[in-house]
Amino acid sequence: MSTAGKVIKCKAAVIWELKKPFSIVEIEVAPPKAHEVRIKILASGICRSDDHAVSGSQYTKFPAILGHEGVGVVESIGEGVTCVKPGDKVIPLFLPMCGECKNCKHPRGNMCDKHGLGVEAALMADGTSRFTYKGEPIHAFGNTSTFTEYTVLREDAVVKIDAAAPPEKVCLIGCGFSTGYGAAINTAKVEPGSTCAVFGLGGVGLSAVMGCKAAGASRIIAIDINKDKFAKAKELGATECINPNDYKKPIEDVLVEMTNGGVDYSLEVIGRHETLNSALAACHKNYGISVMVGVPPSLSQMTIMPTLLFTGRTWKGSLFGGWKSKVAVPKLVSDFMQKKFTLDPLITHTLPLDKINEGFELLREGKSIRSVLVF
Ligand code: CND
Ligand code: ZN
Ligand code: ZN
């Protein structure tokens, strides 16, 4: 029996307040309005940005349904939707793309003018939510909300992918893989033979290591305070792994010495002021490029020594790896299907939605790279 046009009752992981665990409850998901798409989620990875919302480091409206790294299948579409149809396998896009605005049309822009990423991504375009619990609205998150059996997306925030793609793997193309890999390739524009430093070896950082390797870097120095991450970093292309806690000197000084003046490219994939500063200082004065990939705390301010930039370094930020989401995601999925890169080493745990709190604990304890929830 078709569910189109009807409210669907389903399971979702709802977070009611800051720093509290998720609870699995039955919610109501309203049908998609015009230019919206309702999808059944098949798999969703857990990314640190979801945990930043739990901890308050990234401001979010509660109660909320988090999750921004998923794969689903279209259940029904609202009026005027032409980009997907029921039955299509899709990836939700936390960085939507209308394709019409100045940013979407600019060759280097990937942050659509029509859709924000902050609190405006917690509701649909008309300012309401499609999720309710016992009639009370629940906020969405990051234009996506994938920790639920069904979600509703704006049509600009969904793209069709190869029907044969395995959801429990390609969900990582919805955030972690694309963000790290693209930051190296598109934002830093790592060159063959260059020296790179990657700070933070989670799912996003290890994808940045893969991007540096694919771009032909000859030296990739991987940095983490958790040495358990080193074996995987080496497997994915790191040539050296170092732990800042093993040195008395600041890690930027260690890197400058190791590379006789600083690295060509540094990527900060943690989201802390201290490591952002270290990553900038560790790159070569004159021509070094440092890319901020980790999400710093919302509304925070940081201090840097202006001479770091004055002497020629470049400091850049990278959202979703600089990819234009609607165009790049299907292509990345097809590259994965053609075995141009692997996602298996990034996936350390697969869990049912009911075990979402366990998945977050594994991340906080540094025991997982990516946990993927399967539905
Ligand atoms: P995850 O927590 O898995 O990895 C972070 C790694 O950093 C861990 O291995 C930590 O041990 C390590 N670390 C922590 N503190 C330090 C330190 N002081 N020095 C060295 N290493 C340290 O996170 P993830 O890989 O899922 O995400 C990484 C960041 O990327 C995080 O801030 C997340 O919010 C952000 C991100 C950005 C974007 C984007 O579009 N730019 C999209 N999604 C996530
Ligand atoms: Zn993410
Ligand atoms: Zn746009």
Q: Which of 44, 47, 343 to mutate to test the pocket of ligand 1 (most atoms within 8 A of CB)?
A: 47
Tell me the mean pLDDT in the region 318-339.
Answer: 98
Q: Which residues contact 342 (CB under 8 A, 6 or more apart)?
A: none
Residue 251 CA: nearest ligand 1 atom is 19
Q: Is the peptide bond before 31 cis (omega within 30 degrees of 0)?
A: no
Name the region of 86 (left: φ>0; alpha: ψ -120 to 50; beta: rest).
beta
Tell me the mean pLDDT in the region 186-191.
Answer: 98
Chain position carrying tokens 């202006």: 306
**Burial class for 250, CB neighbours closer than 10 Å (0-12, 13-18, 19+):** middle
Tell me the mean pLDDT in the region 13-38.
Answer: 98
Instruction: Report CA dihedral (217, 330, 142, 315) to the nearest 10 degrees.
Output: 30
Q: Is the pTM of this model over 0.95?
A: yes
Is the per-residue pLDDT at 323 higher than 70? yes
Neighbours of 139 (CB within 10 A): 20
Span from the CA of 279 to the centroid of ligand 1 (angstroms) = 13
How far apart, in whole angstroms, are the C-alpha atoms of residue 205 and residue 139?
29
**Which ligand gives the minimal distance to the CA of 58?**
1
How far apart, in whole angstroms, are the C-alpha atoms of residue 36 and residue 180?
29
Is the per-residue pLDDT at 118 higher than 90? no
Instruction: Please give the structure tokens belonging to residue 320.
Output: 């979703």
| DSSP-derived pairing of the beta strands 240-242 and 219-223 | parallel
What tens digit of pLDDT does each residue of 211-240 get?
999 999 999 999 999 999 999 999 999 999
Starting at the edge strand found earlier in the chain, the sheet holding 23-29 runs 8-14, 23-29, 131-133, 136-138
How far apart, in whole angstroms, are the C-alpha atoms of residue 105 and residue 108?
8
CATH number of 177-319: 3.40.50.720
DSSP state string for 60-107: --SSB----SEEEEEEEE-TT--S--TT-EEEE-SS---SSSHHHHST
What tens digit of pLDDT does each residue of 232-278 get?
999 999 999 999 999 999 999 999 999 999 999 999 999 999 999 99
Of 166, 164, 137, nearest in space to 152 by CA: 137
pLDDT of residue 214: 98
| 8-26+84-176+322-374 has CATH 1.10.1040.10 classification | no
Domain ranges for the chain? 8-26+84-176+322-374, 177-319
Q: Cα–Cα distances in Å, from 157 out to 91, 135, 199, 283, 327? A: 8, 25, 30, 35, 12
Which residue, judged by its Cα, is nearest atom 44 of ligand 1? Answer: 49
What tens digit of pLDDT does each residue of 196-210 get?
999 999 999 999 999
SS3 call for 228: helix
What's the chain's average pLDDT? 97
Is the per-residue pLDDT at 364 higher than 80? yes
Q: Which of 44, 46, 48, 365 to mutate to test the pocket of ligand 1 (most atoms within 8 A of CB)?
A: 48
Chain position carrying tokens 């097809």: 334
